[in-house]
Amino acid sequence: MTTGGGGVEEPTAGGPARHLPVLLAEVLAALQPAEGDIVVDGTFGNGGYTRAILNAGASVIAVDRDPSAVATARELASAYGGRLTPVEGRFGDLAAIVATHGGTVDGIVLDIGVSSMQIDTAERGFSFQKDGPLDMRMGPSGPTAADVVNRLKIGDLARIFGFYGEEKQAGRIARAIVARREERPFERTLDLAGVVGKVVGRSPKDKIDPATRSFQALRIYVNDELGELARALVAAEHVLKPGGRLVVVSFHSLEDRIVKRFLRDRSSPPSGSRHLPNLAPVSQTFVARNKAVAASEEEARRNPRARSAKLRSGVRTNEPARGGSDALDFAALPSLADLPESGD
């Protein structure tokens, strides 16, 4: 994603590009990989975290939904004597993935956002600075961003831009998109960016492109990124061994809020009062620090994309994982329209 704290800083469709692994020293300090450990890198990307974990002596299950990233992991695997296992899949399916590789692990690291490989490839359609097909999918299947803007109703588009992009002019953007698509459908990134730019406008003081928030929102919706994150956190609770470590690096307030709520919910006892004294007992499945870790001034100078990064972590206790139909309630995910079938 692009930022923490609700703003947007990076001139991309979202997320610090991973030429350099962000907060690498801090990730390793929280994860504490050691010889004999099995760690899941749920967002392999270009392999920055995975290489460091392997060099510490641990084995890695490297997960990515992008086939090109998995191909990179397979090339890397030959250099580590069987300690690297590439898996093409979504980190939201972490429980099923780990189940086929022993059932439990010693650590999990997630770097939430879009990778540099995806942004830099115009054909992937993530960037509004390069013309390409309006795709934005991190994996090879599912609806594209073009499907979303060409087929959803005004109200649904406005909610997507407003919630996922925190775009103040979401309604105007949605109306402009629907009006323009009546003339011809959207197919290219610069075409959509141009329409959004005319609505939002740009003053000389603006640090970001006017299309930033809208592109971010579309990417999050297309890839169900917040839902994937919430499912991955719950899965981590089930597959981490006692003493196992969960480490999450996020770049936007929406993601960080979900991680913060999860760790707070899983590490805090129920708080009663004289009005509600008999709260049902719940297991404290993690020990977590309350304060997020940010990039140092030195790292932010060296890698400006790290400015918005936040790291949160927790250590798994001996308590059994929670269950029930309310397992994802902590995420407070919005109820947004599903994309209708073609012709609807």
Q: What are the start-end ranges of the H helices in 89-169?
A: 94-99, 116-120, 145-151, 154-164
Are residues 160 and 302 both part of a single domain? no
Q: What is the pLDDT of residue 139?
A: 80
192 and 253 belong to one structural domain: no
Q: Could you tell me if residue 3 is inside a domain?
A: no
92 and 239 assigned to the same domain: yes
User: Predicted confidence band at 6 (pLDDT cuts at 50, 70, 90)?
Assistant: very low
**317 pLDDT tier (thresholds 50, 70, 90):** very high
**Does residue 327 share a domain with residue 233?**
yes
Distance CA 93, CA 309 (A): 24
pLDDT one-digit tens code per residue, 186-198: 999 999 999 999 9
Which domain CATH number covers 156? 1.10.150.170
168 and 258 co-located in one domain: no
- For 14-42, the pLDDT digits (tens) are 343 445 789 999 999 999 999 999 999 99
- Residue 12 pLDDT: 39
Establish whether 256 is an annotated binding residue.
Answer: no
- Say whether pLDDT at 132 is over 70: yes
Q: Is the pLDDT of residue 199 over 50?
A: yes
pLDDT reported for residue 201: 87
Q: Which domain range does residue 186 map to?
A: 121-223
Q: Is 48 annotated as a binding residue?
A: yes
Give pTM, 2 decimals. Answer: 0.85
Asked whether residue 213 is assigned to any structural domain, the reply reads yes
Q: Is 5 annotated as a binding residue?
A: no
Q: Is residue 340 part of a domain?
A: no
Least confident of 18-32, 124-138, 237-251, 318-332: 124-138
Quote the number of domains for the chain: 2
pLDDT reported for residue 268? 82
| Residue pLDDT, tens place only, 327-341 | 888 988 888 777 765
Contacts of residue 187, defined as CB under 8 A and 6 or more positions apart, other chains included, come to: 133, 134, 146
Beta-strand pair 105-111/84-88: unpaired
Backbone φ, ψ for residue 188 (5° rounding): -120, 150
* pLDDT beyond 60 at 300: yes
Residues 36 and 86 in one domain: yes
Identify whether 275 is part of a domain.
Answer: no
Domain containing residue 49: CATH number: 3.40.50.150
Tell me whether residue 64 is annotated as binding: yes
Residue 253 lies inside a defined structural domain of this protein: yes
Q: Check pLDDT > 90 for residue 7.
A: no
As a whole number, mean pLDDT of residues 242-247 equals 98
- Pair 28, 77 in one domain: yes
How far apart (Å, rounded) are the C-alpha atoms in residues 331 and 246? 17
Instruction: State yes or no: 111 annotated in a binding site.
Output: yes
Q: Is residue 336 part of a domain?
A: no
192 occurs within a structural domain: yes
Query: Which residues, in sequence order, are bridge partners of residue 60?
Result: 39, 84
pLDDT at 260 over 60: yes
Q: How confident is the model at residue 208 (pLDDT cuts 50, 70, 90)?
A: confident
**pLDDT of 3 over the 70 cut:** no
Q: What per-residue confidence (pLDDT) applies to 336?
A: 79
pLDDT of amino acid 9:
34
